Structure 1
Amino acid sequence: MTARYETPLNVPVSRAIVMKAEREACKESYLIEGRPDMFHEDMVHYVTDEQFAYAAGVKGNHGREKPAACIYMGKFFAESLILAETGNSIGAIQIAGTASQAQIPFFVTACDYTLIGEEFFAASAYLSEKPELVGGVKGQDMIKLVIIGLILVGVVLRLGFDMGIININIMEPISC
């Protein structure tokens, strides 16, 4: 999308192992949009593996560059609050997504839009447009519906037995 609208992109990475994959994903996106000339290797850069040093580096970058939008996706720990508050203080539109339950309140409080738990994975599958990922999400949803249905049937049966509406005595012989 940044290639389409000729918008600068800055991707700070906290894991050196991930940096190459991130660069390739960005490069491929610019190629798909027909703008390979806009891609630069330094768009994706390594900050540090240390949690709070990474947060400080990104916070400093936000303060200098004043981005219009910040997108936080993935596994976050205590740095989530620092990142979200910094983005909020500069007035950036913020979108966050994590499956980390402990960090969701910070993102919900300080970000404009938050993908919570499984929404994060569903959005990833939807945006990738890969049938196997979308099918996996649909399959999980179907299984959840079946389980919810079985729970509801169990609750209704239990209430029926407790209220005397349903009376099945297994010990009595069936008479014809």
Structure 2
Amino acid sequence: MRRTLLAALLTSCTLACTPTDLSTSNTPSCQAEVPSATTANSAGFTIHAPQPPGWSTQPVEGGGLVLHRFETIEGADPPFGTATVTVATFSPADTADAAANTLRILRPHESDWHRTRSEEVQICGNPAHLTSGTTTNAHHDYLEFAYPLGDKFYPVQITTQTPIANVPRYRSDLDMILSGVRISVQ
């Protein structure tokens, strides 16, 4: 009985979770779990980035998305808080390594960059890399991965930027956005 139940459960999950189009069979996809800002790629996938309360969104011409938080903080120095998250997809590459190389080239190489975190993570079962660090005035996170679709790999980069003084105020929102990125196939 247990085996029958387990087999039925596995079959239903496989049918519900497997893309019907064979050209996207290597494409990891999962639905957003929280209210999200989205940006659709013309290749046929959508990136969902959680949108915490108080954050505004703006599409980027040519594709992509910016989430932004700005608020006046009475009695604080500086008297305002700000944080920005940018979601961007770049021209596809023939291999995952070539897409990763594109992302390395696109990441700013500032002379005063100090890396504070570097780890491998997963987005919808797809390997991704998260790097965090600071420059003289700002904290940055770079969540990067090569999204496979058909026979191409799309370099995807989600970046955060906030003044160092504002990191404690926005860290939980930034972590929620970075850990909640999802992708769905259209």
Q: TM-score category by the smaller chain?
A: under 0.3
Kindly indicate whether structure 1 or structure 2 has the higher relative contact order, using CA contacts under 8 Å at least 6 residues apart.
2
Which structure's residues are more often strand, by fraction? 2
Q: TM-score, normalised by structure 2?
A: 0.22
Which structure's residues are more often helix, by fraction? 1
Q: TM-score, normalised by structure 1?
A: 0.23
Which is higher, the Rg of structure 1 or of structure 2? Answer: 1
